[in-house]
Amino acid sequence: MTTASRAEIGQARRVVVKVGSSSISGDNAGQIDPLVTALAETFGRGAEVILVSSGAIATGMPYLRLDSRPTDLATQQAAAAVGQNLLIYRYQESLARYRIVAGQVLLTAGDLENSTPRKNAERAIEKLLELRILPIVNENDTVATHEIRFGDNDRLASLVATLVGADLLVLLSDVDALYTRPPLEPGAVRIDDVPYGDPLDGVIVGSVGTGIGTGGATTKVAAARHAADAGTGVLLTSTSQVDKALRGEQVGTWFSPKVAAAPSTAQV
């Protein structure tokens, strides 16, 4: 079913949730447990849940004695190799409270741009969902080069949502909603709903992230539009409000999806 409105979020059968690096690493690593609790609640009502999680590089940085995100590709790959293992362990340790098993799916942009690996990824995720395993998807930073990167996991999440025909995509970050301008600027007004096709005229969307991750409001709006075009409803909110978001409460910014026209019943 297409989740056509915020009121239908609680009935979504296939849900993709994306969380950013800064929300679950460093001082915010403690947000993993409440995030998992919210996912488990949705899983427990019978929905299929896919988590798209950034954070491999950020999680690995302290173990490489790095104070800031590395800029060279080799060090990024090394940090990801260390961090991905730790990140999945932390998720599985938290999921074990609910007797939920995670399945790791690592992708590059090339995997979803070419038909054979794209089909393989779709088949693997579908089988995990069938087996009631919770797929955790991330960019394969250990092997990805600048030429075959998604660039940010907001884009990856929208592509995964489209790949599996998700009813709902929830994009989580450190900001509670989309605003008419960067939220710390004077005069910024929160936007509750974005109707399908709304050009957001007059809205100033910032592109600067936290320095830990690679995304910002610009990438989230682009991802939301991509998913909405494919018929997936999108909610943009903060990680701290994920439980309310997945219950359909009045938080964040809702992007209405394109709704397929009903088939004609006219007689020929």
Asked if residue 114 has pLDDT above 90, the reply is no
State how far the alpha carbon of 35 is from the alpha carbons of 39, 90, 103, 245, in Å: 6, 12, 17, 11
**CA–CA distance, 172 with 192 (Å, rounded to integer):** 15
Per the annotation, does 25 bind a ligand? no
Model confidence at 259, pLDDT cuts 50, 70, 90, reads confident
Instruction: Quote the distance between the C-alpha of residue 73 and its chain's center.
Output: 23
Dihedral of alpha carbons 254, 52, 11, 241, sign: negative
Per the annotation, does 85 bind a ligand? no
When pLDDT is averaged across residues 201-215 and rounded to a whole number, the result is 61
What's the predicted TM-score (pTM) here? 0.91
Per the annotation, does 119 bind a ligand? no
Asked if residue 1 has pLDDT above 70, the reply is no
Please state which of the ranges 34-48, 125-139, 172-186 shows the lowest mean pLDDT: 172-186
Domains of the chain: 6-255 (3.40.1160.10)
When pLDDT is averaged across residues 73-88 and rounded to a whole number, the result is 91
Asked if residue 228 has pLDDT above 90, the reply is yes
Per the annotation, does 207 bind a ligand? no
pLDDT for position 141:
77
DSSP string, 24-59: HSGGGGGGHHHHHHHHHHHHHTT-EEEEEE--HHHH
Query: Are the CB atoms for 69 and 61 separated by under 8 Å?
Result: yes
pLDDT for position 211:
44
**CA–CA distance, 156 with 264 (Å, rounded to integer):** 35
Model confidence at 206, pLDDT cuts 50, 70, 90, reads low
Asked if residue 212 has pLDDT above 50, the reply is no
Structure tokens at 85: 């293992």
Per the annotation, does 174 bind a ligand? yes
**CA–CA distance, 241 with 188 (Å, rounded to integer):** 20
Per the annotation, does 111 bind a ligand? no
Instruction: Quote the distance between the C-alpha of residue 81 and its chain's center.
Output: 21
Amino acid at residue number 203:
V
Amino acid at residue number 128:
L
